[in-house]
Structure formats: structure tokens, C-alpha cells
Structure 1
């Protein structure tokens, strides 16, 4: 014989049913709650008991229960409408998870499933339409979640980490760099860039600031060595100067763009960037940026609509890269 639920267990079950099956658009009468209770538990419950539970939940102040009278003033409907996340907020979270390439396909589905449980079953149906990535673009590294947790712990404790790093070859085999030798890095911060997670840290013993894609890191371990971050090193400002996470020397740059690229420039550099008209068709900006292959390739994206004015070293790199591109098509 099945054990009958206690009063507290019944109360919690009624609360769970309201969470799952009601919202601002879906309500239940006492009779519907009684029937649903039996369907989900195979146990009967009285109308009075359910009514008492609803009153108990409402009076607790910890769980909202909305009571609504129909036009005839006789039938009462009940619902739970206050939730931690609005439906549009859940859409944003699900789209972010779905578009994150560093999360495996299986883990993506698991996270989306959990996020849908934060609203009612009926409202969750509205979340079925989400961002889809082409097959094969999701990471195959199942250790990413563990790696992220380890890195956050190391950053918080300011402890040096060791790991192996690699990338895929032409045969699509993952190969470790430096013949598998470990990297020793002071971890500063995790950043999101171009749909991937990166670690920004100080490579040891040289002391260079470098960037590592987290899905390419293997066997990350925290050492007992602690460190202090230079108080003058501003992570937010530093990442603003990066292009495609390439390292390099930070310099002041001046670039001329055609007017049609104004919004592109604002999207990339922000509203605070120094923009000034140059001719009727162009404008110029002055900002700080890390001189790197990433910057060169970003500028080449815009072809003749972007022209580097200074520094001379960047002008030289642009000419060299443009020359290579031209020779490819000769």
C-alpha cells in the first residue's frame, strides 16, 4: 500500500503544481488542482485540503498565489505568476547558451532543459524556437565546464596555474603544443570574445601577457604559488584594445574610415572613441589598440574603406599584408 503524503508533503506538491502548470495566462480551479494532484501522485486529496494549502501558501508571504474570480463571481481560479526570470530573460539566457561554441552539444541541451524549468510548462513551450548553430561548430571538449571552475578558483585565490595547450591539425586531430610541455601562467581574468572564452594571464617566467582559448586547454591544475596583480593593470581597458584576442604592443593609432562605417566603428570602439570629420566622405579616429595580426586582419575586412594613418609600423604591416593578398590573386 502506497504511503500517504503528509500535510507538509502535500503542501509542497501543491506549490510544485502551481509552479509548473500555472502562470499569468494559465489558471486552475480547486477541482482541476485536485484532479492534477491525483494524476501526478496517484493519491486523492480533498477540496478543503487544497483550499487550505492555497491559503497557507498565500499567507506565508514566500510564494505568491493569485486568486481570480470569474464573471459570475462563483468559480475561483488560482495561479502562481511571480518568477525569478521573465520569459524574455529566459530567451536571452537560452540563446546565449545555444550560441556558445565552447559548450558541448550535450551540455547545451542539458542547460536549456534546466532553464526551461524556471517557468511554467506552458510558457516553456515559447522557448522552443532558439538560436541554432551549424552541425559540428560546438566544442567537443567535455572538460570545459570543469576547466572554467578551476580557473575561476585560481583567479579568486590568485594562484599560478599549470596546463597543456593545443589545437587541431589538418587531420582534425588535437595536438598539444610544445610537445606537450606544460604552461605556467598567472591567471588574471576570463573574457568572452568572438563566441569563445579566453583566459588572460601572465606567462611565466617571461612575464608576457598572453591569451588562451579555454576549450583548447587541457589538464589545468592550481599550484601552491600565489601572485599579486599589478594594480595599474586594467583588465577592462586592456581587453578593449584587443582584436580577435591577439597579443602585441599597445600603441596609439589613427585610422581614416569612410562615413558609411561610422556605426561599425562605434560598435567596435564605443561611443567614447575620438571621432572627427576629415573630408565630406571620411572621418578619422584616434584610440589605443594592441598592434597585432588581429588588428591588421580586422582593418583588411573593410578593404579600401579603411586607411591607417599612424603609427608608421602599422602602415608598413598593412602594406605588406595587402601585398600578400594581391599576389594571391595575380
Structure 2
């Protein structure tokens, strides 16, 4: 091709500026011309006045072009500097994708390539991901992204969902629960916790809210049955759960050592009801999902955490401590 029509030339100019320039890499008209020649061959017919006119038209059409000229009579430098995402935001997106266990290794590489296209080729080189993509902890199921899309759609349209659910056994074989029977649920929200996506849903068979790891779902089906809209505060609900175990919501009161203040604020937020007890301890009062997950979370802190109420939670914690002691006592015998 030796000659470009006006539309082709303008579209290519926009692409050059978008992909190859930024605040640190600016092109003169000669540089832009060279880009055209690399794409269409050295014989391509170009007129600098036409390129200047194209630049003016792009600016009038609200395409961001920055023009710099150090001194009168010196060449002008052109660049596209406005980006939807700042470089640090793209780094966060890439790190999140690389860390997410539910995304397969191949999908991770594909997503990172796409994210890099949201900036110039020069800035994209700075986005080299420092987080190792460990295939041993990445999901092997490519069905996850399809399930996520279907579930978002079901939540948006308030439609009941059915699926099969399973787990791995000791032989590392994926085995469906309930002999492969269907789970029928009302999907409430999706949340990303501890590197995994979870579906929070109302399980009709047990008449309670449960959580399901999306990488463990199989044969997700959106039915035509609709349910009524109800307000569901995802952030508030997730902050009250522990290790994504379901259970009943109750008021809890826990005594913590002062060393754990940042842990508690990270979990419950700065608005948490925290009150000084003595020089070494404070008391947290909060609504939480009482479950095995809460018990396991509390035992992480050893003697730095003590349940004050409810009595049912005290019993669960003390029973678990007794069971742990029994395991070690048997081994010692």
C-alpha cells in the first residue's frame, strides 16, 4: 500500500500515539512518519501537513494529545498521556491476577498481557510481574471464569441457580458431594476471600445461608425461576465470617491482648466496639457468624484471646482445646 486514505491515516496515527507514546516518550512528526513506514513500507505517501491536520482533528474529538515545544523554531513533540489507569493501578491489577488461585496459569498470562495493553508499550515493560506464578497453587479448571460470569448474571437477574458441588479425596480425585445431586440455591453475592472466589447463597434444602468455593462448582445452571429482591450487605456479612464458614449470627465478646489490636482492626474495621479492659487487654464486642471457622480463628491467638460470651462459643472453644490435647496425650502414651 503506497497511499492511505484520510480515515486510515487518522486511525493509524491515533494507534501510534496511544500505543507508543506517553509522558516519557514523545514523538516528533519525523518519528511518527517512521512509524508509518515501518507499518506500510518505505514507499508510503505521507504529508506532514496532513498529519498535523489529523492531530488537530483528534484533539477536537477529545482524544488526548499533549504538544511540547522547548523553543520557538524547534520541533514539536506529540504524545498521548491520559490513561484510564495509572501505572501503579495496573501493577495492583497484575499482582492480584497473579496471586489469585482460582485463575489458571494460562488465563493468568493471558490477562496480564491484556492489562499491559492498557498503557503504552514502554510503560508495559515496567509492569513485569514480580510475583511468581506458581502453577502448583493455581486452579486447573477453566470452568471457573464461566461460572463467575453465569453467577453474576443470575444475581443481577435474581434467578435461582442449580449446580453440583464436590471436593478432592485423599487420592486427589474430585468427588461430587451428595452422590452428584443438585444444589438449588438463591445466589446472593460473590466474594473473593483468601485468594478464592466464593458464592454466598441461600440453600433451600437446609433453609440457611451457605458459602461455596466457585472452583468446586460443576454444571452451573441458571433457571428461569426468579426470587424477590432483598438487600444484602456483602462487606458487612463477609467481615463477620471466619474462613468462610457458615453459621448463625450472634453477639460475641472476646478479650484480646493489646498486641492484637491491629489484627482486630484489620478484621472488624476501625468502627469496631473496642474497649480497654486493663493495662494489657481490651474487649471486642461484635456481631459474628459463630462457626467452626470462628473457633479455629480464635485458637490462632493462643492465650492472647479469651471468649467471654456467649457460653455456647466458650464451650466450642474449650471442647476443641480438649480434643487437641487428647490427640497429643495419645501420641505421648
**TM-score bracket relative to the smaller structure:** over 0.9
Correspondence 1:1-330 to 2 at 5 A: 2=1, 4-42=3-41, 43-60=44-61, 62-71=62-71, 73-230=73-230, 234-330=233-329
Q: Map Cα deviations across residues 242-261 of structure 1 (whole Å, 9 max, x no partner).
A: 11110111111111111010
Q: CA RMSD in A?
A: 1.6
CA contact (8 A) 1:165 1:177 kept: yes
Local SS of the residue matching 1:329: helix
Q: Map Cα deviations across residues 235-293 of structure 1 (whole Å, 9 max, x no partner).
A: 44322211111011111111111101011111011111111111211111111111111
Instruction: Give the number of equivalent residue pairs.
Output: 327
Displacement of 1:3: 7.0
CA contact (8 A) 2:272 2:286 kept: yes
TM-score (normalised: structure 1): 0.94
Measure the CA separation in 1 of the matches of 2:215 and 2:3. Answer: 50
Q: 1:123 to 1:26 in 2, by over 3 A?
A: same
Displacement of 1:49: 2.4
Q: Map Cα deviations across residues 204-257 of structure 1 (whole Å, 9 max, x no partner).
A: 2332111111111011011121112555x5444322211111011111111111
Where structure 2 has 5 or more consecutive residues not aligned to the other structure, the ranges are none
Measure the CA separation in 2 of the matches of 1:69 and 1:229. Answer: 58
Measure the CA separation in 1 of the matches of 2:142 and 2:74. Answer: 56
Displacement of 1:78: 0.8
Displacement of 1:72: 6.2
Q: 1:27 to 1:230 in 2, by over 3 A?
A: closer
Range moving further from structure 2, 262-271 or 204-213: 204-213
Displacement of 1:127: 0.6
Measure the CA separation in 2 of the matches of 1:190 and 1:111. Answer: 20
CA contact (8 A) 1:38 1:44 kept: no
CA contact (8 A) 1:254 1:284 kept: yes
CA contact (8 A) 1:188 1:229 kept: no
Measure the CA separation in 2 of the matches of 1:86 and 1:313. Answer: 50
Measure the CA separation in 2 of the matches of 1:218 and 1:93. Answer: 27
CA contact (8 A) 1:274 1:287 kept: yes
Measure the CA separation in 2 of the matches of 1:322 and 1:249. Answer: 22
Displacement of 1:73: 3.9
Measure the CA separation in 2 of the matches of 1:202 and 1:7. Answer: 58
Measure the CA separation in 2 of the matches of 1:59 and 1:130. Answer: 40
Where structure 1 has 5 or more consecutive residues not aligned to the other structure, the ranges are none
Displacement of 1:28: 0.7
Measure the CA separation in 1 of the matches of 2:70 and 2:103. Answer: 47
Measure the CA separation in 2 of the matches of 1:73 and 1:301. Answer: 70
Local SS of the residue matching 2:36: helix
Q: 1:152 to 1:81 in 2, by over 3 A?
A: same
Measure the CA separation in 2 of the matches of 1:212 and 1:157. Answer: 20
